[in-house]
A and B are shown apart, each in its own frame.
Chain A
Amino acid sequence: MDILRPDSLEAARAALKNGSVALAGGTELVPLLRDRIVEADTIVEIRHAVPRGIQGTRIGAGTTLGELEVDPQIPDALREACRLAASPQLRAMGTIGGNLLQATRCWYWRLKYPCWLHGGGRCFAHEGLHREHAVFANAPCASAHPSDVAAALLALGATVRTDRRELPIAELYRLPTGDDRRMTGLEPGELILELEVPMPAASTYLKAMDRKRFAFALVGVAAARSPEGTRLALAGMAPIPWLLEDESALDEATPLPGNAYKLEIARALIRRALVAVAP
């Protein structure tokens, strides 16, 4: 396995050929490589290819969560989501770009069960333990998207700029299908460069966890109010960050026998989030 450290975007693009994978903070990628869930011949460190830092409403994809959580200019929901993610050590290394592209925490998947998302025929979570899993769009794969940050950006209506295009963050994600089981629409080698995050009138992020800190969201609720209205987005509730029309859309969920409790939590959290962002 080779490690390349290109010093420009052009060099990085050239290096990101077949069989190579981009490395930012490595907090997600390195464990996946270690467990051989991601196989790669070449690792391309993108530190010098991807912008880092905050300029007005633009955030470089290489900005760490640690930098974002203390920034007073960015919307509250995003700052809170960054602050509540992972642990200080991980936030010091982990970037916002990497956070958006993290894989599911489904332990069957992480333990390499030959499950549907790994290309197999069945979902082990459906028949087994699934209290942490998805309540929306949870067939054939019930994995829950773990990113707090993505939920916040979704509620805020952020735009993603890659080295090839600009797209609303909602379009970064896709539900996996039988013939294409990826969860994002990024092309091979495509790099996220920047996020454009409009400033809302008010926003917040609330996160229910199994302990007071350093845990993934059971349910995360982001709410952002702008002149067009208030947008809600959820973490931990669907295989991808989930946009919610309004509270009543919770009734469309299809919980599994062991995770309907998430809807109760979501209902209460949404109410509280709406109060928090109300004018």
Chain B
Amino acid sequence: MSTPATRRKLELGRVGESVKRVDAVPKVTGEFAYSSDLFAAGMLWGHTLRSPHAHARILSIDISEAVGLAGVHAVLTHDDVPGDKRYGLEFPDQPVLAFDRVRYFGEPVALVAAEHPEQARRAAAAIKVEYEPLELVVDPELAADQPAIHPQHWTQGHGYRDDPRPNVVRDMRIERGDPDARADVSVEGYYELGIQDQAFLGPESGLAVPDGEGGVDIYVATQWLHVDRDQVAPCLNLSREQVRIHLAGVGGAFGGREDLSMQLHAAMLALHTNRPVKMVYNREESFFGHVHRHPGRIWAEHRANRDGKLVCVRMRILLDGGAYASSSTAVTSNAASFAVGPYAIENALIESTCVYTNNPPCGAMRGFGAVQTCFAAEAQMDKLAAELGMDPVELRLRNALASGDELPTGQKITGSMPVEEVIRRAAAIPVPDPEELPRDPIRLPGGAGNTTRGDGVQRGVGFAVGFKNIGYSEGFDDYTAARVRLFADTDGDLVAEIYCAAAEVGQGVTNVILQTARTELELENVMLAPGTTGEVGSAGSASASRMTWMATGAVQAACRAVRDELDRRGGGLASGDEIDLERIYRHPRTGPLEPETGQITTERAHVSFAAAAMRVVVEVDVDLGLTRVVWIGTAQDVGTAVNPQAVYGQIEGGTAQGLGLALMEEIQTRDGLITNASFTDYLIPTALDMPPVVAELVEHPEPEAPFGVKGVGEPPTVVSTAAVMSAMRAATGRELNRVPVKPDDIVFSGS
């Protein structure tokens, strides 16, 4: 036997180095297998029949004609759900298939499996459902006085403030100091945000394969494998071991894949037919197939003294949660918790309410409540600066939150909170001079449309600061598991295989895991096994900007355990030997907020915070209302950048999404029906709409986090909508209190 295998010296790819993403080349060349590319021999195609009403009682469902059609193998309704009839990310308020009534337009009512997708579609069209329309609840202002969409009031009794009004999902208050405290000046404002879609490019899709023993394997693009499993298994009446979820190629997520889409449906069809079943939503169906960003209406009053010191902030936030709870309770709380922005404040009253309506369900989307309030709060800060005759950056610096300060919830910030540095760094990035005229029209507002040669064009520069929590909050027992298997390969080199169910949703967590393992093990040969519930414990969700922190912690813990064991064995492994250890990582514990006052009940309600500041330059053709975002400079508090190149990517992508909300993205509804469910009618920014982004990483390691990391995905989205709007106001002189802002709002003051 040869000498035991030992570690080969590590050359590349430690934490802190820019490493090319492992999925970069296959994604660019088109070779990457997305969940919609999956294929299995003998597979059938599933299709969902959806409700054509936003609110109706189901009187009858007749599948007799559909089952007889060519190629059809199964037509399933709520009667065929083997186990629990309802599921939900946080509250089981959502039917697997509608039974008593439908509560939103597009709600799944029946399923078909057929040999060809077109046969499945036709069979679905042949299902006859008799509906009796019910009173619509579509105005969030009126919802609490209308008949209950969910008489069960699912979200009551979970430690939230008691609000018996119908259709209230959560009603919360944060009361701090003296909410009536007076100050020298006060500014008031009312703000609105439309519904934003995640607009991920890969629609919901996946493949369910029966295992021949009553269980099922589901390959799907998702954000949290284990929570999918935990929702799917009881509805299928199977044990958790019998349902295995495997991560398939994710074409974007942004929160929209936290809730189940086709997982349960494909599994039901697969188990029923004993054949693999594939489901792929088309673009239109995708708009009906996932939750969106909550539209909001926000009223705010800011009071400050002449020296610029904020004295009191009062805000009322109303969010439309749509037909099902999803993560609305957490979004409601987040909107309130971060409403003031990263500013120290002693007196505040923040009321945040989310209601059920028959509008499209809303839930998680990048920024998760903080986007909505940042837009309002930063507009208020600009107003306040104007009222005080103070430089807006100076005003923000004067109030900047710092480690040691208390948040409106009473939580004292113990970790890194370099708001002041973030503001200073962003403000110091040199703003480019206006470009000379004449210019290529593409470098003017109106873009390709050739609408100006410079006439009507006004420049505006805006600034905003935003922040948000990292990780799950308010007492949620959050953890991530990772397993490391170390063995000697046939060349006598040590190889580590990492198992972690962290979902690679495009954010780059694969590299984070590999870099962490390489650093910890001082080992070049590190592989990441495909994510699955079968091989390792839960990783938690790829959301709340938490995955880098949590995966790093878990992989680090497992690597250290393996390293210790290796040392115990003398530093080498004989061929055929292996070390295989799993470890669980938990971040510092959080506790719930007191329901009546929104104050902390333990040391903290949130784990950690990250801030970003952004300067935006726009040019607006004020005669036409057309906008060119010229330039963006930003500084972001990132803790430690594990893979700086990927962090810059997150900043640019997150900024584009916030720019989209500021200038064009809005789901339109009429009586609960999405009327622009296509990329022809729902516009998202193209490369032409995105300016260059100059980003600076502010690295102050988070003391309690592995390697000092913080999440980086959400702060750019939180701040960019507000920052673009600040620039838009500067360019136009208009109030622009609703996003997205359209040419209509700029050229015409009427109605």
Q: Does B676 contact A (CB under 8 A)?
A: yes
B446:A131 contact, CB within 8 angstroms: no
Q: How far is the CA of A269 from the CA of B683 in the complex (A)?
A: 23
A128:B452 contact, CB within 8 angstroms: no
Q: How far is the CA of A264 from the CA of B751 in the complex (A)?
A: 14
Residues of chain A with a CB closer than 8 A to B744's CB: 131, 258-259, 261
A207's partner among B449, B668, B683, B743 (CB-CB below 8 A) is B449
B747:A264 contact, CB within 8 angstroms: yes
Number of A-B contacts (CB under 8 A): 105
B751:A208 contact, CB within 8 angstroms: no
Q: How far is the CA of A124 from the CA of B673 in the complex (A)?
A: 13
Contact status of A213 and B751, CB under 8 A, knowing A208-B626, A208-B743, A268-B624: no
Q: How far is the CA of A261 from the CA of B751 in the complex (A)?
A: 10
Using a CB-CB cutoff of 8 Å, which residues 259-274 of chain A contact chain B? 259-261, 264-265, 268-269, 272
* Interchain nearest-CB distance for B54 vs A (Å): 13
A211:B447 contact, CB within 8 angstroms: yes
Q: Does A257 contact B (CB under 8 A)?
A: yes
Q: How far is the CA of A169 from the CA of B683 in the complex (A)?
A: 32
Q: Does B750 contact A (CB under 8 A)?
A: yes
A212:B688 contact, CB within 8 angstroms: yes
Contact status of A261 and B673, CB under 8 A, knowing A84-B449, A207-B449: no
| Residue of A131, A209, A211 contacting most chain B CB atoms (<10 Å) | A211
Q: How far is the CA of A268 from the CA of B453 in the complex (A)?
A: 12
Q: How far is the CA of A84 from the CA of B628 in the complex (A)?
A: 17
Q: Does B623 contact A (CB under 8 A)?
A: yes
Contact status of A211 and B664, CB under 8 A, knowing A260-B748, A272-B451: yes
Q: How far is the CA of A105 from the CA of B623 in the complex (A)?
A: 25
A261's partner among B450, B452, B686, B748 (CB-CB below 8 A) is B748
Q: Does B681 contact A (CB under 8 A)?
A: yes
Q: Does B79 contact A (CB under 8 A)?
A: no
Residues of chain A with a CB closer than 8 A to B530's CB: none
B448:A84 contact, CB within 8 angstroms: yes
Q: Does B398 contact A (CB under 8 A)?
A: no
Q: How far is the CA of A2 from the CA of B571 in the complex (A)?
A: 73
Contact status of A209 and B624, CB under 8 A, knowing A128-B670, A129-B668, A264-B747: no
| Residue of B449, B455, B675, B748 contacting most chain A CB atoms (<10 Å) | B449
A208:B449 contact, CB within 8 angstroms: yes
Using a CB-CB cutoff of 8 Å, which residues 161-207 of chain A contact chain B? 204-207
Contact status of A107 and B676, CB under 8 A, knowing A206-B451, A208-B446: yes
Contact status of A129 and B750, CB under 8 A, knowing A80-B450, A261-B744: no
Q: Does A100 contact B (CB under 8 A)?
A: no
Contact with B along A108-128 (1 / 0, CB 8 A): 100100000000000010001
* Interchain nearest-CB distance for A31 vs B (Å): 9
Residues of chain A with a CB closer than 8 A to B452's CB: 272
A84:B675 contact, CB within 8 angstroms: no
Residues of chain A with a CB closer than 8 A to B733's CB: none
Using a CB-CB cutoff of 8 Å, which residues 651-686 of chain B contact chain A? 663-664, 668, 670, 673, 675-676, 680-681, 683, 685-686
* Interchain nearest-CB distance for A9 vs B (Å): 33
B689:A211 contact, CB within 8 angstroms: yes
Residues of chain B with a CB closer than 8 A to A40's CB: none
A213:B743 contact, CB within 8 angstroms: no
* Interchain nearest-CB distance for B259 vs A (Å): 25
B451:A269 contact, CB within 8 angstroms: yes
B447's partner among A129, A212, A272 (CB-CB below 8 A) is A212
A205:B450 contact, CB within 8 angstroms: yes
Q: Does A41 contact B (CB under 8 A)?
A: no
Q: How far is the CA of A268 from the CA of B451 in the complex (A)?
A: 9
Residues of chain B with a CB closer than 8 A to A218's CB: 743
Closest to A205 in B: B450
Q: Does B456 contact A (CB under 8 A)?
A: yes
B683:A210 contact, CB within 8 angstroms: yes
| Residue of A84, A111, A205, A212 contacting most chain B CB atoms (<10 Å) | A212
Contact with A along B726-751 (1 / 0, CB 8 A): 00000000000000001110011011
Residues of chain B with a CB closer than 8 A to A131's CB: 742, 744
A268:B623 contact, CB within 8 angstroms: yes
Residues of chain A with a CB closer than 8 A to B451's CB: 206-208, 269, 272
* Interchain nearest-CB distance for A66 vs B (Å): 15
Closest to B671 in A: A128
Residues of chain A with a CB closer than 8 A to B63's CB: none
Q: Does A215 contact B (CB under 8 A)?
A: yes
Contact status of A261 and B747, CB under 8 A, knowing A211-B686, A272-B455: yes
Residues of chain A with a CB closer than 8 A to B675's CB: 107-108, 111, 129
Using a CB-CB cutoff of 8 Å, which residues 229-273 of chain A contact chain B? 257-261, 264-265, 268-269, 272
B447:A265 contact, CB within 8 angstroms: no
Closest to B447 in A: A212
Residues of chain A with a CB closer than 8 A to B751's CB: 257-258, 260
Contact status of A265 and B624, CB under 8 A, knowing A213-B688, A218-B743: yes
Q: How far is the CA of A268 from the CA of B664 in the complex (A)?
A: 22
B748:A264 contact, CB within 8 angstroms: yes
Q: How far is the CA of A215 from the CA of B447 in the complex (A)?
A: 11
Q: Does B58 contact A (CB under 8 A)?
A: no
B450:A268 contact, CB within 8 angstroms: no
Closest to A128 in B: B670
Residues of chain A with a CB closer than 8 A to B447's CB: 209, 211-213
Residues of chain B with a CB closer than 8 A to A205's CB: 450
* Interchain nearest-CB distance for A148 vs B (Å): 10
Closest to A107 in B: B675
Residues of chain B with a CB closer than 8 A to A258's CB: 744, 751
Q: Does B442 contact A (CB under 8 A)?
A: yes
* Interchain nearest-CB distance for A172 vs B (Å): 24
Q: Does B256 contact A (CB under 8 A)?
A: no
* Interchain nearest-CB distance for B446 vs A (Å): 7
Residues of chain A with a CB closer than 8 A to B442's CB: 212
Closest to A214 in B: B686
B683:A261 contact, CB within 8 angstroms: no
Q: Does B625 contact A (CB under 8 A)?
A: yes
A212's partner among B455, B456, B686, B742 (CB-CB below 8 A) is B686
Contact with A along B442-485 (1 / 0, CB 8 A): 10001111111101100000000000000000000000000000
* Interchain nearest-CB distance for A251 vs B (Å): 15
Residues of chain B with a CB closer than 8 A to A107's CB: 668, 675-676, 681
Q: How far is the CA of A108 from the CA of B623 in the complex (A)?
A: 30
Q: How far is the CA of A84 from the CA of B441 in the complex (A)?
A: 12
Residues of chain B with a CB closer than 8 A to A269's CB: 451, 624
B748:A124 contact, CB within 8 angstroms: no
Q: How far is the CA of A83 from the CA of B442 in the complex (A)?
A: 13
Closest to A36 in B: B125
Known: A105-B680, A111-B673. 11 other contacts (CB 8 A): A80-B450, A107-B676, A107-B681, A108-B670, A210-B664, A210-B742, A211-B663, A212-B689, A213-B448, A268-B455, A268-B623
Top 8 A-B pairs ranked by shortest CB distance?
Answer: A212-B447, A268-B623, A261-B748, A207-B449, A261-B744, A212-B688, A264-B747, A213-B448
21 residue pairs bridging A and B, Cβ less than 8 Å apart = A80-B450, A105-B680, A107-B681, A131-B742, A206-B449, A206-B450, A207-B451, A208-B449, A208-B624, A210-B683, A212-B448, A212-B686, A213-B447, A257-B751, A261-B625, A264-B623, A265-B623, A265-B743, A268-B623, A269-B451, A272-B453
